[in-house]
Amino acid sequence: MCYHISLTKKDETIRKRFDISKGPLDRYKPFYHRNGFENEFIYIIKDIEPFNFTPAYWGMLPENYNFDQRSGFLKKHNTLNARAEGLLESPLFNKPLETNRCLIIVDGFFEPHSFKGNNYPNYIRYSDSTIMGIAGIYTKLEDNAFTVSLITTLANDYFKKIHNKKNKHGEYRMPLVLDERDELDWLDPNLPIQQVNTLLTSFTNKQFEAYAVSKDVMNSHKNSNYPSIINKVEYPEFNTLF
């Protein structure tokens, strides 16, 4: 599962990273913590507009829905994440996988780490603190709002140590962070489905770092979108997590 992300970079940094023109970033507002169930934007780059920057709502809805149906839909169908292994078999996800792929733009994400029966949120980012593109799929609703699901894959050994509790399927998961050289292929609307499937089994080669942060991340009653939410917290229960 991945329900919490950050995107703290200035618009000029994003513009240079993805060669985006100034106009599409006019609505961009950095955030330090975004909970996927909030009615707040995250930001994507769509396959049909690879040099544009689009605000979207996290949790993909069918195309014939409107945004005001989002809350009720997510209570019945949690679509914040989409499992890479079952996308083609899913009635909701299979068409967007072929025609509506996107990058979800983040510079970090939060995952829970279990330690002696308690959960401690960990912040994960590239070791050089640069931006990453997570594979996603999206829909455009009848009211022109965009909604998106973040694709997850089976965790590697590094992420198993961080998000170290299995899900209901008995699996460890991680977001499908694409290697930078694969991003334009993922956004290619003409990419054959066989190559799309190959990208679903790929992952970035860059180095990550992870550390414990404030439990405000997991408290829905607190506003956790503040700069120090991504700062390291030393918990007395342990000297180091890893």
Using DSSP's 3-state secondary structure scheme, residue 163 falls into coil
What CATH number corresponds to the domain at position 171?
3.90.1680.10
| Better-scored residue on pLDDT, 1 or 139 | 139
Q: Is residue 210 part of a domain?
A: yes
Domain of 211 in residue numbering reads as: 4-230
Q: Is residue 214 part of a domain?
A: yes
Q: Is residue 240 part of a domain?
A: no
| Averaged pLDDT, 13-35 | 89
Q: What are phi and psi of 34, to 5 degrees?
A: -120, 120
Greatest mean pLDDT among 27-31, 122-126, 163-167, 219-223 lies in: 122-126
State residue 75's pLDDT score.
Answer: 93
Q: Is residue 78 part of a domain?
A: yes
Q: Is residue 237 part of a domain?
A: no
Residue 73 corresponds to which tokens in the numbers above?
């839909």
State residue 84's pLDDT score.
Answer: 97
Q: Is residue 97 part of a domain?
A: yes
Burial status of residue 38 (CB atoms within 10 A of its CB: 0-12, 13-18, 19 or more): middle
pTM: 0.95
- In the chain, % of residues over pLDDT 70: 98
Q: Looking at the 3D structure of the chain, how many domains does it have? A: 1
> Are 107 and 6 a contacting pair, CB within 8 Å?
yes
